[in-house]
Structure 1
């Protein structure tokens, strides 16, 4: 009985995860307190590596459980404190509200999104043109909306496409009331032959769109959470932020779109798979079926969702409220005017986002450990001590590398605060601070596409219900993002090193932007708070 009970405990621990993975997590839990007692700095970095490992194994075991166990132990042994964790959660409350409400709000607009993207998919037959369109659309949307919101939209669309295929491949035909049994063998063959290609097709579109969120998110004040923090510290308004970033963001955007087309043309790094003709026929058939069977009630829902989409864009572009609160308004408006009033029906909207919200909260525990154990401090101090003419490219690279292994919001916040302190202490002047702010912002946004944990939108995609359907693992995301990482990273570095300073000086001469005094920056920061 004792042996059986012990085996039962072992079987229940982390469920169906591989046995070696369970043993690895247990070993980490045993080693961490010992190493923390011997060397807290090394133990802190080991914890970061362990948490990244749990993200890499997301398809074997959702990272919330193993990562959460590591985080709980870190608090218990004193690597950080509950107060510091609470501080990080409060500091990132807008991100948490966004996940809870905005992603759920998108759920209530899925009919409109699926309708529009289905039209796009069946009308653009060129995979290259379709991929560039997805990438560019994600970039434009991410410049005004949060990247997480945009990726949630794209995920909803991809899940819709997959559901259409699965419905037909399972034998549930929607064009005829009487099922034709002679079609069964064809459907079975279609499922066997085309499923992998269809997955590869959707995988490539999702990765192009995810990269697009990074290309657009770096451009404006509202594109990413750290952009707001950096812009507030520098005293830049929306237009000035976009102008100051443009010497880097514009060439990066052009090269990113060119890379998208080249990858589809060459079929490198897992790209280039086209939509199987049989699947295109299914989606086209579905589109025609939906159009022919739409009632006035269905049209009314699409019209309402379209009006709410306009409200969403305007409210986010003008920053009328916190992003999450705007998402809450979308939930209320969309559910009220489309007749979704039952509690269980509303609850389905939150199923996708809440596990990731919990995971991100655990991630903030790791961020709290990074702060309390001063893991990034040696790197920051070293960069600041280097000669000023090397600051721009060093800050860009340092932010990029750290953002690959940590949260880019945290990295950007830490670096801009340190640079602002250097400005206040007279170590650097205002103009140098402004250009360093550009280097920090672009560094946290561009090279960070290398890993899913580098950007919240990528991590959300990895841990979504879509990822296992498309066989989109951590390693595959890293591999597919590699060409973009190289191109975006190198083009960004060249622009920071050779274009930023002369273009910024030209902007001063043209009067497009003006030199900031320390008092003006302080006043802008105060008004932002």
Structure 2
């Protein structure tokens, strides 16, 4: 039977996505202009909810296409302008460069990463210890590096583990070419081991993702909004860490404790063990690699190790934008490993570029949020409170908005409003400092609730490993729930109990003592150490 043109168009629209999903997107596209005519504010919130829906259904259809269609319509009907969207992209150019170059740079270091993490997984046979190690190391790295970079490393490692087992379970040797996205070649007796291995890797991915939030909130370089807040407040690295520490350190301890509890008692699908057959295969792989390492291979691994040191030093020292350091990783890793043809280099960009495009669509949605003033009523309402109640409300409001929007955007909007209030004399400098702490912790901690709250989580959701591990939006929300509750309540308790007041007081005392010593030393012409 010959297909009609309308049927052909319907079949091509969003490809193999379910029919109900296609109908939902078409419905959104029809009602949005009508809502915009009726009430632009309602239409703006409808667009945000619809975009979150496309993220939640990421395993049904990659969000770039449906989200992009919704945004294009929003641009055409005037919810925002292409110029404003471009402005949001320019403001976030460092994040875009990071995704384009840093993720590709990590790709060229996968041999070293897989080698080291294979040793770690095989050495730490206790799942609880391994989970805490993943969370703690991700937190430490995220305090000095970018969370997206850390997640890119973890994804690379996870994909490496998965492809090794999937290849062997399909009856092939370590060197064979293999498509690990299809399970047809995996015999039935091995399917249960494959599912158990997926659950094990899902656990590690989520622990590592949460770790990036635990470390990212601590320092001014941990998250993009931290830099914005530190700049507005005039804080250096040490002052930022000290002022945040009464909240961030208890939260860090609570986070690792949560890791222990969910693994120990197998809560929220955690506690999945590495199947013995998988451990045996990874052990064989490790032995195979060690036995077949040539001098050239050892030299390449050594060079990748040196490049990794440059990566950490370069990012920690802020010698250049993160993306530019990523570009240097690509140049160094490829030139020293003989990867000189365009086709081989191009493979490294396959993972990051779709997400980069999706993030640009997200920046367009942020432009809609700003132009339609979707958060303005909440911001105005929170500013009506005073004292400790105001701190708590800032923390909660930032957290709730960060769950549905980007925490960088929410943090930027709130710190700008608070800075304006300080400049107008509506609040004191002491109030400003305390509110800045509440804004930073509020945007970083409760935002772990959903993948759209943090770019690193969204990257994990839309990465190549998510469908392989059956890591859907709902699964991420469910697995993050114990962390969301513990981190949010711990941060809230620290804010309410006035710990940030104590730190502010102690830090001010330190500054007074330092300035007094400096003045006395200046009178005696004696240098004072900072």
Q: CA 1:429–1:310 in 2, change beyond 3 Å: closer, same or farther? A: same
Deviation, structure 1 residue 41? 0.3
In structure 2, distance between residues paired with 1:13 and 1:204: 35
Deviation, structure 1 residue 2? 9.2
2:7 maps to what in 1?
A: 7
1:359 maps to what in 2?
A: 358
SS at match of 1:487: helix
SS at match of 1:270: coil
In structure 2, distance between residues paired with 1:221 and 1:414: 17
Deviation, structure 1 residue 513? 9.6
In structure 2, distance between residues paired with 1:513 and 1:59: 57
In structure 1, distance between residues paired with 2:372 and 2:173: 59
SS at match of 1:385: coil
TM-score (norm 1): 0.94
Q: CA 1:431–1:362 in 2, change beyond 3 Å: closer, same or farther? A: same
1:98 maps to what in 2?
A: 98
TM-score (norm 2): 0.93
In structure 1, distance between residues paired with 2:189 and 2:338: 37
1:166 maps to what in 2?
A: 166
* 1:459-518 deviation digits (Å, cap 9, x = unpaired): 000000100000000000000000000000000001111111123212333449989xxx
1:124 maps to what in 2?
A: 124
SS at match of 1:314: helix
1:461 matched to 2:421: no
Contact 1:508 1:514 in 2 (8 A): no
In structure 2, distance between residues paired with 1:221 and 1:404: 21
Deviation, structure 1 residue 192? 1.9
In structure 2, distance between residues paired with 1:280 and 1:88: 46
Unpaired runs of 5+ residues, structure 2, are 177-184, 516-530
2:72 maps to what in 1?
A: 72
SS at match of 1:137: helix
Deviation, structure 1 residue 140? 0.3
1:39 matched to 2:42: no
In structure 2, distance between residues paired with 1:345 and 1:227: 36
1:527 maps to what in 2?
A: none
SS at match of 2:79: coil
2:48 maps to what in 1?
A: 48
Contact 2:445 2:488 in 1 (8 A): yes
* 1:98-118 deviation digits (Å, cap 9, x = unpaired): 000000000010011001000
Deviation, structure 1 residue 238? 1.0
1:16 maps to what in 2?
A: 16
In structure 2, distance between residues paired with 1:202 and 1:514: 50
Deviation, structure 1 residue 8? 0.7
SS at match of 1:360: helix
Contact 2:166 2:186 in 1 (8 A): no
SS at match of 1:269: coil
Deviation, structure 1 residue 227? 0.6
1:304 matched to 2:313: no
1:411 maps to what in 2?
A: 410
1:428 maps to what in 2?
A: 427
Q: CA RMSD in A?
A: 1.6
Contact 2:388 2:496 in 1 (8 A): no
Contact 1:105 1:327 in 2 (8 A): yes
Contact 1:190 1:278 in 2 (8 A): no
Contact 2:164 2:174 in 1 (8 A): no
**Greater CA deviation, 244-253 or 2-11?**
2-11
1:119-518 matched pairs, under 5 angstroms: 119-174=119-174, 188=187, 190-498=189-497, 499-511=499-511
Deviation, structure 1 residue 358? 0.1
1:519 maps to what in 2?
A: none
In structure 1, distance between residues paired with 2:478 and 2:174: 38
In structure 2, distance between residues paired with 1:258 and 1:305: 34
SS at match of 2:336: helix
In structure 2, distance between residues paired with 1:512 and 1:100: 45
In structure 2, distance between residues paired with 1:437 and 1:513: 24
* 1:194-246 deviation digits (Å, cap 9, x = unpaired): 01100000000000000000000001111101011010000111111111110
Deviation, structure 1 residue 58? 0.2
Deviation, structure 1 residue 355? 0.0
SS at match of 1:253: helix
In structure 1, distance between residues paired with 2:150 and 2:305: 16
1:83 maps to what in 2?
A: 83
